[in-house]
Amino acid sequence: MRQCGTNGGRRLAATAAALVAVLYATLWPAPAAAQFPVQQPVPCTSFYGEPVQYIADASLNDVGMSTRYYGRPIILLNPMVLQRFAPLVQIWWQAHECGHHALSPAINSEVAADCFATRALRDLGYIRTWADLEELMRELATLPGNAFTGHLPGPMRAAQVRDCFVN
Ligand SMILES: [Zn+2]
């Protein structure tokens, strides 16, 4: 299980609560245009070839979390936290969580998931211009780092994302 990003990486106190939320969660609801400019989240397939489901969970104590539920790969995203970010960055968070499932377990890390997300958005055409990239970097630079979870301090994280974009 990986919890990602915005709160310095505090572990979910209530994993059970998250699982209960899954029980009651529906598929990702029809996106409000102001929040999600795309009709679908970033398509996601696990490293093992499984489809990965995105589930909205407003009780999540963070922006997102990748985990498994009864063996199936899922991504929980908190829409209340997501909406604090620009639309492009919201999509990037989806792709970041996807990266935790899509990457080989041997290389899965916060840094690798950041890189996966950045390249995915580049290759899918969401990041087209330097202005797009700078918007992403500007918001990531505000995030706290956390040595325990492997999140780099925001400015370092933003710089690493830029390197992933160009390489
Ligand atoms: Zn992560």
pLDDT for 102: 97
Measured between alpha carbons, how far is 70 from 58 in angstroms, rounded to an integer? Answer: 21
d(CA 150, CA 49): 26
Taking the centre of ligand 1 as the mean of its atom positions, its distance from the CA of residue 124, in whole angstroms, is 20
Question: Contact, 22 vs 69, CB < 8 A?
Answer: yes
Mark the residues whose beta carbon lies below 5 A from ion ligand 1: 2, 4, 110, 113
Give distance in angstroms: CA of 113 to centre of ligand 1. Answer: 6
Instruction: Supply the angle between the helices 110-124 and 87-102 in degrees, to the nearest 10.
Output: 120
CA distance 3 to 6: 9
C-alpha span between 167 and 153 (Å, rounded) = 21
- Distance in Å, CA 110 to ligand 1 centroid: 5
Name the pTM for this structure. Answer: 0.78
Q: What are the boundaries of each domain within the chain?
A: 2-166
Per-residue pLDDT of the chain (167 residues; tens, 9 = 90+): 777 766 544 443 334 334 334 433 444 444 443 344 334 568 899 999 999 999 999 999 889 999 999 999 999 999 999 999 999 999 999 999 999 999 999 999 999 999 999 999 999 999 999 999 999 999 999 988 887 777 888 999 999 999 999 98
CA of residue 83 to ligand 1 center, whole Å: 18
pLDDT of residue 144: 86
Measure 131 CA to ligand 1 centroid, in angstroms: 24
Q: How far is the CA of 130 from the centre of ligand 1 (A)?
A: 24
In this predicted structure, what is the pLDDT of residue 23?
37
Q: What are the C-alpha distances in Å from 30 to residues 22, 26, 64, 91, 97?
A: 17, 11, 18, 15, 20
Q: Phi first, then psi: what are they for 165, rounded to 5°?
A: -65, -45
